[in-house]
């Protein structure tokens, strides 16, 4: 139950943004992508090293909300199949430029995750999985990841 005494409804319904609000959101993304690694370096290192420590040879990893792939610096991409899922193509394009060995998947995790139903993220649940009901259900099921489902 929320602090307001109501049951939260899932999935959250995001408001439709005006063109001005869209631009503000985009400006924030760009600022945040520059600020986070510089200002919060210690937190960034912990956030990315911790899941990488749990890696097992040959494992498949599904990174939900991969962004531009800062976390891939800490991953051994030669020893795993790494799938980076994000809802923004521009983020995946930047990720692919730096890490061409990672497979990118364009999808909105609140609507669909194009992997078999009995699969899940093989890493520690992230902010995405704690706030997104689709991600949360997947993380509760298993720790293995398979190839994307056929469309």
Quick one: how many helices (H) and strands (E) in the chain? 5, 3
Nearest Cα residue to 112 out of 67, 144, 148: 148
pLDDT for the residue numbered 35: 87
Q: Does the global pTM surpass 0.75?
A: no
The full set of domains in the chain, from first to last, is 19-141 (3.40.50.150)
Give the pLDDT band (50/70/90) at residue 99.
very high
Q: Which of 4-8, 32-36, 44-48, 51-55 is the most confident on average?
A: 32-36
pLDDT digits (tens, 9 = 90+) for 15-47: 899 999 999 999 998 898 888 778 877 777 777
Angle at 62 between CA 97 and CA 94, to 5 degrees: 15
Q: List all residues 6 or more positions away from 3 whose beta carbon is below 8 Å from its beta carbon.
A: none
Mean pLDDT across 126-144: 50
């Amino acid at each position: 139950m929320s602090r307001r005494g109501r049951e939260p409804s899932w999935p959250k319904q995001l408001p439709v943004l005006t063109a001005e609000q869209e631009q503000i959101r985009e400006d924030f993304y760009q600022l945040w992508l520059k600020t986070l690694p510089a200002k919060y370096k210690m937190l960034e290192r912990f956030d990315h090293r911790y899941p990488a420590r749990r890696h097992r040879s040959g494992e498949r990893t599904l990174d939900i909300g991969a962004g531009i792939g800062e976390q891939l610096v800490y991953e051994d991409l030669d020893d795993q199949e790494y799938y980076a899922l994000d809802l923004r193509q521009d983020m995946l394009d930047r990720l692919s430029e730096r890490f061409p060995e990672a497979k990118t998947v364009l999808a909105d995790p609140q609507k669909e995750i194009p992997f078999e139903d009995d699969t899940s993220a093989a890493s520690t649940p992230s902010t995405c999985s704690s706030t997104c009901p689709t991600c949360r259900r997947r993380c509760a099921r298993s720790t293995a990841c398979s190839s994307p489902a056929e469309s």
